[in-house]
Structure 1
Amino acid sequence: MLCQPIDRRLFLTGAVAALALPCLLANAAAMPTMDEVAADPAIPALGNPQGDVTIAEYVDFQCPVCKLAFIELKKLLAEDAGIRLVMKDWPIFGDASRYAAKMALATSDSGHYGQAVDALMTAEGRLSERRTDTILADAGIDLARTRANLAERGAGIDALLVRNESQASAFKLRGTPALVVGGRLFRHGLSLDELRTAVRQARS
């Protein structure tokens, strides 16, 4: 599976199709609950962990459109202290993406998860295991400790990635990124203005 073909101009200006999750959850027993999507205890929350609006993003660290979406999300976090951001790793670009996702999640034990996500999402080009290690090390992350955490928590992290993939399948997502904002599913990235609108609707 690949990212949907959206260039930067279309990403920032195009209309966004949305699907209301509450309606889906009421009519399809196979759909994940909002707690499963937005409050998985295995995923550290970025932004404000006690925020009043949760944004969950299905993401691959090698997806170029995900990187554009992350830029817009960072702008939102900088201006809105009430946002809780949950990164739902869905490594659809293969083993390198899966390794990056697992290493990022393994940094949560040392309190460096936000640094890892930011470093990987802002890195240009394709990833490999070696390049992921370099990116994380350059961000000040202890690779030996992270690998030890991954060895200890590997089964749990693998199970988390399976949960994320199952949710993406239930939502019939075709690629990354996809966002859930306060109970609504958006099937690709949102510009800052679109994020503001979605958050405002969630609060109302």
Structure 2
Amino acid sequence: MNGWRRLTVVVIVLCAFWELGDCRERDDNLIRMKLGGFRDSHNSAAEIQSLAQFAVQQHNQKQNAFLELSRVLKAKEQVVAGKIYHLTLEVVDAGKNTVYEAKVWVKPWINFKQLQEFKPAPDGPKLGWQTVPTNDPQVLDAANHAIKSIQQRSNSLFPYELLEILLAKIKVIEDYIRFELLLKLRRGNKEENFKVEITKNKEGKFLMNYV
């Protein structure tokens, strides 16, 4: 009987250790997933723009190139020892717009920033209509111009107020940027949605195409 009891105790202890090890393995896997996963970056538009500009400048210095940043198409981040930002950029290369991908490693607590990779996007240029963040500074400028134009055309004594930019798309055409915006506005007690298209020329001037 004593032998059976000792055997039972050993089996119980082994099972407990196995269960503990299994839990630790699952926890470690979960931690690795959290650390290594990709997600959309929630940094401000200005911070992402600064990282994109840094990536282009570093590439130009290393390769003796003359690329110019046009805009950020997409920004994702990966948590490591710090963060690695995966940026999809539209740049001007010898007068032509093309798409590049960049990786920038940032460790803010030691003021460290390093370009890890900069290469043409594997799928080639994607320069048609692109959905962009509604808080992009260029989008906000275009929206404000649209509101002024709508106000001038309405002849209303009540001013239009921007409540929300519901959707923003842009398309680059040679030296022009075309914006297609869906705006939610308020005039007095009335709320309205306006779909507008605006063009920004190389001098930075806006022209309303339609409302």
- Bigger radius of gyration among the two: 2
Structure with higher RCO (Cα < 8 A, 6+ apart) = 1
